């Protein structure tokens, strides 16, 4: 073999090695397209402008997600701010306290004002009936004739003896607390012994309870049970049709009120919970108060707070909130 052929063979060998390396690189790039390693290869081969476009798009997507979160947060804060503004002209006497919560079930938006736990007084009667119905469902039965008589008197007329009978039937505070755990109430505790009226609750928990009655989604109560509670709350005795009904712009409302004069202070606990329609909106409303000097003063506070709460969802509508609905209780 002559020496002149050796350089040609070396050049051919170098070209063969270059072709082999190029083929290997292309193969790795092709395999890597669907993997994290491939992403690295594709990035290294991409045109700088293309890389910049990918980075910019990812950045815009992230910014968009942050904007949605921020917008949602701002909307929730704005509802609370709107309610706080609506509550400014509401007269709250020195020493009195009020807590308000409102929910628009259609949109899922809500607002709250104030906080803390309050004595329920007679609004607990809705909770007692819900717990009774849940127990009956668990047992695969309907309410007995006696239970229905007690329930109607308890809700429509706020009869205390009927409530005491059903309080015992559900297992008193332990039974109420067990039912409330299933209902999703987290800030409500049954009253000691026979003192169902001293059950402690929050406005937020009362909205959760109302959702069990007025919203089928996620409710532990079946259709028949929910319809029964609503029916009774729509048939409140004439002298007790005050409270959240003052925020309704017509006859469509369902409620339960509670009132209690504390023997230790002589001051009043006045509460109202329910569903009202105003300005084309159906709203769940809970107003809890304590420290009013008179029952009438407490009722006026609760009604003003209920109107303020509903106004958060009815601003700009023709809202003539319930002058006719705000009757004073009988003596």
pTM: 0.74
pLDDT in tens, the chain (331 residues): 444 444 444 444 444 444 544 444 444 444 343 333 333 322 322 333 333 333 343 444 445 444 444 444 444 448 899 999 999 999 899 999 999 999 999 889 999 999 999 999 999 999 999 999 999 999 999 999 999 999 999 999 999 999 999 999 999 999 999 999 999 999 999 999 999 999 999 999 999 999 999 999 999 999 999 999 999 999 999 999 999 999 999 879 999 999 999 999 999 999 999 999 998 889 999 999 999 999 999 999 999 999 999 999 987 654 333 333 333 333 2
Domain layout of the chain by residue ranges = 5-69, 93-314
* Start-end of H helices in the chain: 5-32, 36-45, 48-87, 124-138, 145-156, 160-169, 172-183, 203-214, 223-233, 295-314
Pairing of strands 268-278, 253-261: antiparallel
Using DSSP's 3-state secondary structure scheme, residue 213 falls into helix
The CA distance from 141 to 136, in Å, is: 5
Closest by Cα among 260, 253, 228, 248 to 329: 260
| CA R_g for the chain | 33
Q: Name the CATH superfamily for 93-314.
A: DD-peptidase/beta-lactamase superfamily (3.40.710.10)
Contact 236, 242 (CB under 8 A): no
Closest by Cα among 255, 300, 260, 289 to 273: 255
Share of the chain above pLDDT 70, in %: 72
Residue 55: the pLDDT is 37
């Amino acid at each position: 073999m002559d020496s002149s052929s050796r350089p040609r063979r070396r050049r051919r060998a170098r070209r063969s090695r270059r072709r082999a390396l190029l083929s290997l690189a292309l193969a790795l790039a092709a395999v890597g397209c669907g993997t994290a390693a491939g992403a690295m290869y594709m990035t290294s081969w991409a045109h700088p402008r293309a890389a910049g476009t990918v980075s910019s798009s990812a950045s815009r997507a992230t910014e968009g997600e942050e904007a949605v979160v921020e917008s949602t947060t701002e909307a929730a804060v704005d509802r609370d701010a709107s309610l706080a503004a609506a509550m400014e002209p509401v007269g709250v006497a020195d020493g009195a306290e009020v807590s308000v919560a409102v929910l628009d079930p259609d949109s899922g938006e809500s607002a709250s004002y104030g906080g803390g736990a309050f004595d329920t007084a007679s609004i607990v009667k809705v909770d007692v009936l819900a717990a009774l119905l849940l127990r009956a469902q668990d047992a695969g039965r309907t309410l007995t004739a006696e239970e229905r008589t007690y329930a109607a008197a308890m809700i429509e007329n706020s009869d205390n003896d009927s409530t005491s009978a059903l309080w015992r039937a559900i297992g008193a505070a332990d039974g109420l607390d067990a039912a409330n755990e299933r209902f999703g109430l987290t800030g409500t505790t049954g009253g000691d012994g026979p003192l169902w009226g001293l059950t402690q609750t929050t406005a937020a928990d009362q909205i959760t309870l109302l959702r069990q009655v007025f919203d089928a989604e996620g409710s532990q109560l079946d259709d028949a049970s929910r319809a029964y509670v609503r029916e009774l709350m729509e048939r409140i005795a004439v002298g007790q049709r005050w409270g959240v009904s003052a925020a309704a712009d017509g006859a469509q409302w369902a409620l339960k009120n509670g009132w209690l004069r504390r023997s230790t202070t002589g001051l009043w606990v006045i509460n109202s919970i329910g569903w009202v329609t105003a300005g084309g909106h159906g709203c769940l409303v809970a107003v809890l108060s304590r420290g009013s000097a008179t029952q009438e003063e407490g009722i006026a506070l609760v009604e003003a707070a209920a109107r303020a709460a509903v106004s958060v969802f009815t601003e700009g509508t023709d809202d003539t909130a319930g002058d006719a609905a705000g009757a004073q209780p009988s003596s």
